[in-house]
Structure 1
Amino acid sequence: MMSNVYPEKRNAAGHGATRRGGRAESCRGFSLCLLAVLLLLLAACAGEEEPTTDALPEPTVAAAPTADLPIPPDSDLLVIATDAPLPPFADFDAFGNVVGFNNAVVERIASRAGIEYEFVVTPSDGVLESIASGSARDFDAVMSALLIPDTPPPGIAFTDPYLEVGQVPLVLVDEREIGSAADIRPGMTVGVLADSAGQDAAEALGIAESDLFAAYDKPSQLVQALIDEVVDVVLLDSYIADYFVASFPEQMRIAGGEGATAWIDRRAYGIAVAADDTELLNTLNDALAGLREEGVLNELTVTWLTAESDPAAAVDPGESRVGTPATELFIGVVGQFSDMDPASLTIDFISWEIKTNTMSGLYRFNPDNELEPLLAAALPSVSEDKLEYTIPLRTGLRFPNGSEFTADDVKWSLNRAAGLGNFLVNTYLKDSNADNFADEDAVQVLDPATVKIILKEPTGYFPVILAAPPFFPISRDCYSDAGDPGSTCGGIGPYTIVNWALNDRMRLRANPDWPGEPKPAFENITVKFFGDAPAMRRSLTEFRSVDLAWTGLPFADFMELTAQDGDGDGQPDYVGWQGPHTFKSYIIFEQSAEPWDKERVRQAAALAVDREALAAIFGQARLPLYSPVPDTIPGHTTTMPARDLEQARALLRAEGYTEQEKLIFTLWFVNDGRYSASEEAYAQAIKAQLEETGVFQVELAGAGWDEVRLQISQCGLPAYLLGWPSPGQPTTYLDASSWTDFFVTNTDRVFCSNYESEQMTELVAEARATVEEGPRLELYGRIQTLWAEELPTLPLTQESRRAVSLPTIDGVRVDALGMMHYEWLTKAGE
């Protein structure tokens, strides 16, 4: 046995049945030889009392069969004698069925060999003699917790082991003094599980009575003590040690070599059969070999023979102690998220980026910002009224749960998102009763590989919308109809989700069925969530436990790290990466009241600002912006004028303002760090530039975001400085209109700018209804030109997202929404 801790009882296996008694009256007991083996085994069982020579007591269970009837011979039925209860190897469920590790193993054997099986619980006397007795045998096999002896009893053969275990020394991966158990010396603290074979091994090494000996109740506690350096070395069952090393290869290793070479002792468990029944022996051994090769035996061992269903989940592994493996990638982000449902109403960079890398839409933007079909087979056909989009789908695709991808999944996913209130879906899909929820028939299945989507109004850029997470198809066999924030089902993306430890990390695995290009370069990627930027920086620079520091890295760290050359070779120690500009900073004027109801006053402000000087306040973090659309977004057109103080003064004088009769106003700004730590200096610079006209006189008012937002909602601010999108959030779709429409359609409620323009309204409506990209981009240019005249907002500066990586990383590609595409990432050898 392994230890004194046992798993919870499991449901009975489907193949097996349980009977009491035997096939014939002569079935009475094991041989003395087997009894001696069992006694030795039971004495070593962790947490068990010392056994006696009496037969094991009968358990009291509900509805246990009591008939002692012979079982007719059946060549397709494997009848196995066992004694129970002997947890965790064998126990009873509430219906008297044998459950436990042995049953789980036999269930897999039977399934692989194509046979049925039945456990028969019988007194221990005479069982081996029964199967060794030739044609009169009552059972085909014996399976208890049988150690395979060096010399089997006469007439008995044992299968290859279904469980082999030995005690091994587990140490931190960077430990240099302990190469094997022989290196454990006085002064080292040794940890074991209480009342376990590990304690026996410690005693054999002469350390169990030492003050430096420590015992723990659970494997996770023992391993945590090793990680926390409370103990120097751990003696643990090999299969548990293997499990933890596989889970945390950056933190621990087994000292002493690979496999059994590290074992301090050895125990092998097998199934006893008649020595002359070579056909059965070969059948069992063939099945065991296959299960061993597929890792099934290891999985069952960890599942059944530890007290914790997932021991690794209870361990905080801390930082990697050896950097990162060359074949895996670790990405660090500051922050965390708790919702992996694509229909979620929450939008943030971290969740949308991970969804983008573990799911896909019918279309996607590649890192070059080109729209291309992905789960769709081609671009859609659009009806004459521009309301119906008919989309052919790729065939032969499957979700990670194995279900086939069809048009039904698209309809179910979009109807589900609409029903859960996702605004992006409900904004665009047909809503005949105007209840702000898309109609059930807004998505129609024409055949398994064709779907039709009907819109509320013509939207020429609708295929772009289909590339956003709320439109990602998911499997109804894996997600609930209600919101499913904790799901790890994912969709059809370049990676699938292996596990997700909230606030700690998410581990991803390459999806071989993803239809996109390029195929992922890494089998595994881990995204680590940090509570603050300094912790992420230490992981990159001190531990090297992340390869790439991404979301949340301050610009000052970006500049400092990418300037370092510690070895003096002329090459930076870290590589900086920069994506397209996605954030813009701007001023909004309240245009329903003086002085901002005068177009020439707004234009004078636009002519008075020096965008290059404003950008310089942020070092190289920001660049000047001469359009409401950032310059890396498709459709951007430079339309804002260069600085011209004389022209600004002339416009102000035309409205009656002079150096003697100044235009006095208050400029509000957010001073709580929402946008940057330099907002006050930024506002001071804007004030100084405007006052260089000699006509503007600016008072500054700083407040936290909550106060500013309240004042905006009450139309209480005549002029204020803001940023877009909100910190930590991307825009919702990749089209120039995403940076413009919001500011001309929410003027009387969200921004309280009260900007009104019939010409702008007509241009926006025409652009939205235009399906062809070329004409639509031309309309976007006209919108930006009109923007420079009417100034719904006054654009000032723009900023991109940045990352810093180790010099081994390449292929960092960020699209114009600010999302990093993991499938492009590569890593060179050290």
Structure 2
Amino acid sequence: MFFMRKKPKGSLLIIVILTIMMVSPIMTGHITSESHQSNQPQSNNILTGMTLNYGVGSLIMDLDPQFAWDSASVDVINQVCEGLFGYDLNNPELSIVPVLATELGTWNAEATEYTVTLKQGVTFHDGSVFDAWDVQWTFNRLNWFIDNDMTQIAELYEPLASLYPGNPLLINNTEILDNYTVRFHLNYPYVPFMSLLCFSGSAILSQMSTPEFALLETATDILVGTGPYEYIEQTLEYTKLRAYDDYHSKWINDSPEEVNFIFYPDKASKSQALLDGEVHMIDNMDPSYIDLFESNPYITVTEPDKSTIIYYMGMNNKQINRTMRQAINYAIDYEFLIEDLLGGTVDRVTSPIPEGILYHNPDLDNPTLNVFHARQILVDDGVVPFDTNVFDDSWWRNKADFDPIATYNYTWNIGNMFRENLGILTVDNLREIGIDVVLTGLLWEDYLPLLLGDFNKLQLFGSGWGPDYNDPSNFINPLFSNTSASNNAQVNDPTLQAMMMDGLTEINETARRDLYYDMQTYIVEDLMPWVFLYTPLQQIAHSKLIGIISLNSMGILHFYDIDIPFDRDNDGLTDREEIDTFYTDPLNPDTDNDRLTDGEEVNIYHTNPLNPDSDNDGVFDGEEIYYHADPLNADSDNDGLSDGDEINLYSTDPIKPDSDYDGLSDGEEINLYSTDPIKMDSDNDGLTDGEEINLYYSDPIDPDSDNDGVSDGEEIYYHADPLNADS
């Protein structure tokens, strides 16, 4: 998709950092709401009460999946509705997996019939049962909108309309073989059809709740699908979704039970909302906040990762021949472009099929800056005399200044600083190979028609592309086919055209991969229809309260797949752990009221969070920790008294076996000798209790053990016998 009618899908649960700030975002068409933020929804307790607030720059624009093509709308639709197939978001290659189908479908030999077996036991949010009739009804409805020119996504379902003008629709009809088996009959071979079925426009809709011959009204209607979330409402400030209890794939993750898409008017306000804890994640952040996020202990920022959006400098292939295009490709200073113009925050694009898209070829020989090689290309092809010195810089520069080999116009939209700087760099770089470049800046409203079809007025220009679904044909065919309205470089190459057609009909996966590998090699190393520039990097910044969020190259947002360890009572245990594992109260940080949080009991002290006195010694676990006693040992100091008796009855020290240091343990004093465990000399006779018991065998609770009128201590002083009245 050109980045003008919709913003890239890369803003999914992710935050895409585009360091090139485009005033008029060419080929992205970032659609934003004019509403203002106010009265945001509060985090209500729904089911287990886990609510995620997602800060976004635009709310849903088009509620109907068969019309929506902006990422804000698609992000919501993908939570509510499902297609027959989807992507495995845990697989870096985003392999296609069945969703409402039981398995991947089967092709006939001609790739014109595709048979799919449907999943049973699935219900729509309105309670109706999903079956083959819903699939047929959904695609009949889509075809009706296309026939009546009522949907903007028509071109995706008429991919070869110019080749088959008599039957431009891809889907001729959807045949019901039985209640849970359908067969799609196509008007022409189209193997990427399976990938197209992953696109939101192919989501299956409820016949009971969806108008058949009218699009859903965003302001008033309710979208009903089979997905994990029900569409609740949208206001000017937010869109609310709630978990569907009867979801067919069941709730296996600690996913949010409610999701609120909350509108913020700009990146700065969204970023500040994340810092302030108003939202858990945002769809696009202000790059100036990255340092603040990374220094915040409650926010996680992922490492930058490549997106599947590509930017390139287009060259009008009708007006700029292959030799000139090859020379230009070797004259561009890519390192300066990446590091200086873009600050090193992007990666170079190496192929028209970017990394992350099916059949990306990682082993291409990409042009790099080599002015002498560029000049040699021109010499070898006779563009300049064969004896021209490729090392004579002055000759080539003078050629560009006074008698250029060629003069090309570079066009950009005024206000786009990167594209303006790219033009200046192009002037400087191509001067080194004798080419003069004239810069022309146009207002956006004048530039856009050129990109949309008035291609003859463009020679050198900036452009970009992003995927609607994960198939290489979604890049190669629209950008290079001589029948495509998106081929703004006017590529018309018979060799490439034949390979593209083969790629659409080849059903053997290995053979199809080889075809696209060969196409990329031919495009990048020989045809060189563009100058391949860069792909933006994407990062996610989100609250640590929602665990780990992984990026995917398509920027697909799916809250069901996010495992969010909510901890509503902030006790150190996730709600799911409390409910499923420990049976504690997820809304009470101290379930047993023992003065330790449930998390402290489980993670630090290993006590029982459901029993206030884990060792049953008469002292709450929290008190034992306060006294430095062992909450798992009833007698922490092993003195023969329980910690509870020591604290509550005898006022002894539960972690000192001999509280009064008299040589007797507290337990001995209480249980054997009836002495005072907190008094060294219980009978005040001048001897400690321990001396009386262990040395002199006198009575520690009788000051005159032999009743001779002299205390035991005095007798010891006079060397008398405290046990003999007549020593």
Both proteins in one fold, TM over 0.5: yes
- Quick one: distance in 2 between partners of 1:613 and 1:518? 48
CA distance change for structure 1 residues 714 and 448 in 2, over 3 Å: closer, same or farther?
Answer: same
Give secondary structure in 2 for the equivalent of 1:786.
helix
CA distance change for structure 1 residues 723 and 591 in 2, over 3 Å: closer, same or farther?
Answer: closer
Task: Determine the structure 2 residue equivalent to 1:806.
Answer: 543
Q: Note if contact 2:45-2:51 (Cα within 8 Å) is conserved in structure 1.
A: no
Q: Note if contact 1:607-1:648 (Cα within 8 Å) is conserved in structure 2.
A: yes
Give secondary structure in 1 for the equivalent of 2:61.
coil
Task: Determine the structure 1 residue equivalent to 2:82.
Answer: 360
Counterpart selection for 2:180 from 427, 437, 449 = 449
Counterpart selection for 1:699 from 433, 438, 445 = 438
Deviation at 1:764, TM superposition (A): 0.4
Larger Rg: 2
Task: Determine the structure 2 residue equivalent to 1:472.
Answer: 203
Counterpart selection for 2:399 from 655, 661, 665 = 661
Deviation at 1:797, TM superposition (A): 0.6
Counterpart selection for 1:379 from 104, 120, 123 = 104
- Quick one: distance in 2 between partners of 1:695 and 1:702? 23
- Quick one: distance in 1 between partners of 2:41 and 2:83? 35
| CA distances 1:529-574 after superposition (whole Å, capped 9, x unpaired) | 22222221221123x1111011x424444x33444x25xxxx6854
Give secondary structure in 2 for the equivalent of 1:470.
helix
Are 1:391 and 2:108 an aligned pair?
Answer: no
CA distance change for structure 1 residues 806 and 419 in 2, over 3 Å: closer, same or farther?
Answer: same
- Quick one: distance in 2 between partners of 1:757 and 1:802? 38
- Quick one: distance in 1 between partners of 2:43 and 2:208? 40
Deviation at 1:412, TM superposition (A): 0.3
Q: Note if contact 2:419-2:462 (Cα within 8 Å) is conserved in structure 1.
A: no
Task: Determine the structure 2 residue equivalent to 1:266.
Answer: none
Task: Determine the structure 2 residue equivalent to 1:819.
Answer: 556
Matched to 1:332, the amino acid is G
- Quick one: distance in 2 between partners of 1:388 and 1:445? 13
Q: Note if contact 1:520-1:824 (Cα within 8 Å) is conserved in structure 2.
A: no
Deviation at 1:330, TM superposition (A): 1.1
CA distance change for structure 1 residues 680 and 379 in 2, over 3 Å: closer, same or farther?
Answer: same
- Quick one: distance in 1 between partners of 2:461 and 2:472? 21
Task: Determine the structure 1 residue equivalent to 2:460.
Answer: 720
CA distance change for structure 1 residues 386 and 588 in 2, over 3 Å: closer, same or farther?
Answer: same
RCO greater where, 1 or 2, for CA within 8 Å and sep 6 or more? 2
Instruction: Please say which of residues 501-510 and 346-355 is displaced more in the overlay.
Output: 501-510
Task: Determine the structure 2 residue equivalent to 1:546.
Answer: 279
Task: Determine the structure 2 residue equivalent to 1:199.
Answer: none
Q: Note if contact 1:813-1:821 (Cα within 8 Å) is conserved in structure 2.
A: no
Calculate the aligned-residue CA RMSD, in Å.
3.0
Counterpart selection for 1:635 from 335, 351, 359 = 359
Matched to 1:815, the amino acid is N
CA distance change for structure 1 residues 518 and 356 in 2, over 3 Å: closer, same or farther?
Answer: farther
| CA distances 1:126-167 after superposition (whole Å, capped 9, x unpaired) | xxxxxxxxxxxxxxxxxxxxxxxxxxxxxxxxxxxxxxxxxx
Task: Determine the structure 2 residue equivalent to 1:615.
Answer: 338
| CA distances 1:624-649 after superposition (whole Å, capped 9, x unpaired) | 11111212222112432232221111
Q: Note if contact 1:629-1:740 (Cα within 8 Å) is conserved in structure 2.
A: yes
Q: Note if contact 1:585-1:724 (Cα within 8 Å) is conserved in structure 2.
A: yes
Deviation at 1:437, TM superposition (A): 4.6
Counterpart selection for 1:342 from 56, 65, 75 = 65
Give secondary structure in 2 for the equivalent of 1:507.
strand
Task: Determine the structure 2 residue equivalent to 1:250.
Answer: none
Counterpart selection for 1:463 from 174, 194, 199 = 194
Q: Which runs of 4+ in 1 moved over 6 A?
A: 319-326, 429-433
CA distance change for structure 1 residues 793 and 475 in 2, over 3 Å: closer, same or farther?
Answer: same
Task: Determine the structure 1 residue equivalent to 2:491.
Answer: 755
Q: Note if contact 2:74-2:200 (Cα within 8 Å) is conserved in structure 1.
A: yes
CA distance change for structure 1 residues 471 and 636 in 2, over 3 Å: closer, same or farther?
Answer: same
Deviation at 1:510, TM superposition (A): 4.5
Give secondary structure in 2 for the equivalent of 1:534.
helix
| CA distances 1:241-284 after superposition (whole Å, capped 9, x unpaired) | xxxxxxxxxxxxxxxxxxxxxxxxxxxxxxxxxxxxxxxxxxxx
Are 1:525 and 2:256 an aligned pair?
Answer: no
Deviation at 1:579, TM superposition (A): 5.5
CA distance change for structure 1 residues 679 and 450 in 2, over 3 Å: closer, same or farther?
Answer: same
- Quick one: distance in 2 between partners of 1:682 and 1:541? 35
CA distance change for structure 1 residues 767 and 409 in 2, over 3 Å: closer, same or farther?
Answer: same
CA distance change for structure 1 residues 768 and 438 in 2, over 3 Å: closer, same or farther?
Answer: closer
CA distance change for structure 1 residues 436 and 769 in 2, over 3 Å: closer, same or farther?
Answer: closer
Q: Note if contact 2:482-2:497 (Cα within 8 Å) is conserved in structure 1.
A: no
Give secondary structure in 2 for the equivalent of 1:582.
coil
Deviation at 1:491, TM superposition (A): 1.1
Task: Determine the structure 1 residue equivalent to 2:470.
Answer: 734
CA distance change for structure 1 residues 445 and 472 in 2, over 3 Å: closer, same or farther?
Answer: same
Are 1:624 and 2:322 an aligned pair?
Answer: no
- Quick one: distance in 2 between partners of 1:511 and 1:425? 33
- Quick one: distance in 2 between partners of 1:629 and 1:485? 36
Deviation at 1:432, TM superposition (A): 8.9
Q: Note if contact 1:362-1:374 (Cα within 8 Å) is conserved in structure 2.
A: yes
Are 1:535 and 2:269 an aligned pair?
Answer: yes
| CA distances 1:407-434 after superposition (whole Å, capped 9, x unpaired) | 0000000110111124156426999982
Structure 1 unaligned segments of length 5 or more: list them.
1-314
Q: Note if contact 2:56-2:264 (Cα within 8 Å) is conserved in structure 1.
A: yes
Q: TM-score of the superposition, structure 2-length normalised? A: 0.63
- Quick one: distance in 2 between partners of 1:681 and 1:427? 38
Matched to 1:357, the amino acid is Q
Matched to 2:247, the amino acid is D
Q: Note if contact 1:520-1:822 (Cα within 8 Å) is conserved in structure 2.
A: no
Task: Determine the structure 2 residue equivalent to 1:770.
Answer: 506
| CA distances 1:295-323 after superposition (whole Å, capped 9, x unpaired) | xxxxxxxxxxxxxxxxxxxx952486999
Matched to 1:338, the amino acid is M
Deviation at 1:740, TM superposition (A): 1.6
CA distance change for structure 1 residues 363 and 700 in 2, over 3 Å: closer, same or farther?
Answer: same
Q: Note if contact 2:309-2:467 (Cα within 8 Å) is conserved in structure 1.
A: no
Query: Map of 1:681-700 to 2, 5 A cutoff?
Result: 681-691=421-431, 693-700=432-439
CA distance change for structure 1 residues 429 and 634 in 2, over 3 Å: closer, same or farther?
Answer: closer
Matched to 1:521, the amino acid is S
CA distance change for structure 1 residues 365 and 750 in 2, over 3 Å: closer, same or farther?
Answer: closer
Q: Note if contact 1:614-1:686 (Cα within 8 Å) is conserved in structure 2.
A: no
- Quick one: distance in 2 between partners of 1:318 and 1:385? 54
Query: Map of 1:267-278 to 2, 5 A cutoff?
Result: none
Matched to 1:787, the amino acid is I
- Quick one: distance in 2 between partners of 1:432 and 1:661? 48
- Quick one: distance in 2 between partners of 1:453 and 1:720? 42
CA distance change for structure 1 residues 428 and 656 in 2, over 3 Å: closer, same or farther?
Answer: closer
- Structure 1 or 2: larger strand share? 1
Percent identical among aligned pairs is: 19
- Quick one: distance in 2 between partners of 1:619 and 1:435? 49
Structure 2 unaligned segments of length 5 or more: list them.
1-36, 147-152, 385-394, 401-405, 571-727
